[in-house]
Amino acid sequence: MFIAPRPEIADDPLFAVRLALLPTLGFCIGMILQSPMAMLFPIMMFSLTAGNRKAFDIRRVLGAPVAFSAMLWLMSVPVALLNQMPATLITVMAAVYFFGFYLIQVTGSAMGMLFIVSAALMSIMGLGSYDAMTYMRSEMTKAVLCVAIFAPLLYFLLPVKTTVMNVDEYVPSEQHGRVTRALIRAGIMTVFSLYLYTILDFGNVMLAVAGMFVLVFSTRDEVWRELGQRSFSATLGGTLSLLVLGALTLSGHLVVLLSLTFLIVLWLANKMIVGRFNPMVYQDAASIMISLIGSALASSDPTFAFLQRAGLTLIGATIAAISVNLLDTLLVSRHREIGI
């Protein structure tokens, strides 16, 4: 799947500042709206803009929020129609997962991931409570709307230096075995979704996203590389979140939360530019840190919130990587000659 290249300081010297301001604003907005899922606002405002590169492109800045919001509403339709028939709903979601993974294999773009993430979020919540699903959809739509409003505003206030538009270069996977690889990943994703349904509640449903990305990569080498990156990102993001939460126990003022969030995301965003690791490592660490802080603030036990998030990320990613590796080895090579 396509991964955004490393941002360049010559193109966008204010990249880190802009990216750090978005989740800070997100925390403020979530608290002002008194949302019980306030962590959605900083997570969405960071995640949907962190992949932007080079010059301001209104289609890209608005496209991701609009596409994600539309996909949430689209995927909520089968959940609304089939939530009283769990077996049928699970079958439909498995078909959606297959389509998403196959789309990634064929095009190399992240569009398929929108199908997978939105379908997983809506189905996990819908299986437990239709009302909870509709409320989460509403809150996520509000968060996405905030991205569409504040991201262009920050680009206007903190403009980029280059006038060159970024052009994504998508690389499809190897042609043979695409159907088989998509089936393998869809099957594992379906089992993973059912597992998440049994352990997640309304407050920490964003954990569902943590183990998904390791499934999208095409080759076994990429799966293991992604597993290593996810493990390091979870550890780094979790450690930073504990530092913030520790500071809040000493001084529980809002300004402390906002200041530390801004400074740490600023540091991680700068590392996306100059760090020794892949920029996605630092981007994922920031997402995990923001998610953990938001979940912990809504929880009576911040330590448990961290252990739950980091533990599920590592365990889920490890099991997914092993399963994909094993099944790819057993099944994909057998279909090499017939091209499926």
CA 56, CA 43: separation in Å to the nearest integer?
A: 21
Which among 90, 317, 111 has a CA at the least distance from the CA of 215?
317
CB atoms within 10 A of CB 133: 25
pLDDT of residue 338: 46
Q: Read off φ and ψ for residue 83, nearest 5 degrees.
A: -65, -15
Residue 46 contacts residue 34 (beta carbons within 8 Å): no
Contacts of 109-112 spanning 24+ positions with Cβ under 8 A: 109/1, 109/2, 109/168, 109/170, 110/1, 110/2, 111/67, 112/1, 112/216
Longest dimension (CA), the chain: 64
Q: What are phi and psi of 54, to 5 degrees?
A: 60, -140
What distance in Å separates the CA atoms of residue 2 and residue 173, rounded to the nearest whole number? 10
Using DSSP's 3-state secondary structure scheme, residue 277 falls into coil
pLDDT of residue 44: 87
Domain ranges for the chain, please list them: 15-335
Task: Please list the alpha-helical segments (H only) found in the chain.
Answer: 15-32, 40-47, 58-82, 86-107, 111-128, 130-157, 178-199, 220-250, 254-274, 279-297, 302-327
Q: 295-305: buried (b, 16+ CB within 10 Å) or exposed (e) per residue? A: bbbbbeebeeb
Give the type of residue at 8.
Answer: E
211: its two tokens: 């183990």
**CA 316, CA 68: separation in Å to the nearest integer?**
24
pLDDT for 339: 47
What secondary structure letter does DSSP report for 330?
I
pLDDT of residue 120: 86
For the chain, the residue count is: 340
Give the three-class secondary structure for 66: helix
- 3-state SS class at 54: strand
Q: b or e along 176-198 (b: 16 or more beta carbons within 10 Å of the residue's beta carbon)?
A: bbbbbbbbbbbbbbbebbebbbe
The residues, any chain, with a CB within 8 Å of residue 275's CB and separated by 6 or more, are 281, 282
Instruction: Identify the pLDDT of residue 218.
Output: 53
pLDDT computed for residue 205 by the predictor: 62
In the chain (340 residues long), the average pLDDT of successive 10-residue segments reads 78 94 92 82 88 85 86 91 88 93 85 86 82 86 90 92 80 80 89 77 60 60 69 82 84 85 95 89 87 70 59 70 79 56
pLDDT of amino acid 268: 95
Q: Quote the pLDDT of residue 24.
A: 93
pTM of the predicted protein model: 0.83
Question: Contact at 8 Å (CB) between 206 and 255?
Answer: no
- CA 200 – CA 155 distance, rounded (Å): 36
Can you read off the two tokens belonging to residue 68? 């994600």
